Amino acid sequence: MSRIGKRPVELPSGVTAQVSGQTVEVTGPKGTRSFTATDDVNIRLDDSAITVTPRGESKRARQQWGMSRTMIANLVHGVTQGFRKELELAGVGYRAAMQGNALRLSLGYSHDVDFVPPEGVSLSTPKQTEIVVEGIDQQMVGEVAANIRSKRPPEPYKGKGVHYKGEYILRKEGKKK
């Protein structure tokens, strides 16, 4: 039995939801998001909560039960508070700056790297060595953060590169004489 799927998703004030068939559309102060569930689960909208139940006892129905409930909870979280990832730059001369809509990264290459975020994701640079990625779609925020990090992943000897805030970089010992 899914322990996650049993709990209903509460809708805070200011958030409305519509269920039509297997599609759930959630509207809140930050925007509108939708999710289409598989046919293995039933989705029901009560007065201020969304309940997900499986349509059978098959393994797939039980898997989709918890996953669908979590996806709907992420929709509600995204339209109310949004999602956020923070990146840090470590290295001499490594900088980030916004130029219009694009993010310009100086990462030790012979050229600057420009990164244009997709629609629905906003970037900001509170400091020259910090990047904040925000949006209402958890998957897109994580993907954009991972794409920025992939421009110069942290290396294990000096720890230089782009890493998530709070990420531990496994350090290696250098050569010995």
CB atoms within 10 A of CB 81: 13
pLDDT tens by residue, the chain, 177 residues: 668 888 999 999 999 999 999 999 999 999 999 999 999 999 999 888 999 999 999 999 999 999 999 999 999 999 999 999 999 999 899 999 999 999 999 999 999 999 999 999 999 999 999 999 999 999 999 999 999 999 999 999 998 999 999 999 999 998 888
Residue matched to tokens 């531990």: 168
DSSP character for 176? -
Longest Cα–Cα distance of the chain, Å, equals: 72
Q: What are phi and psi of 147, to 5 degrees?
A: -65, -40
For residue 114, what are the CA distances in angstroms to 24, 59, 106, 140? Answer: 36, 46, 9, 18
**Domains recognised in the chain with CATH numbers:** 3-80 (3.90.930.12), 83-164 (3.90.930.12)
CA distance 132 to 122: 8
As beta bridge partners, residue 163 has: 88
As beta bridge partners, residue 42 has: 53
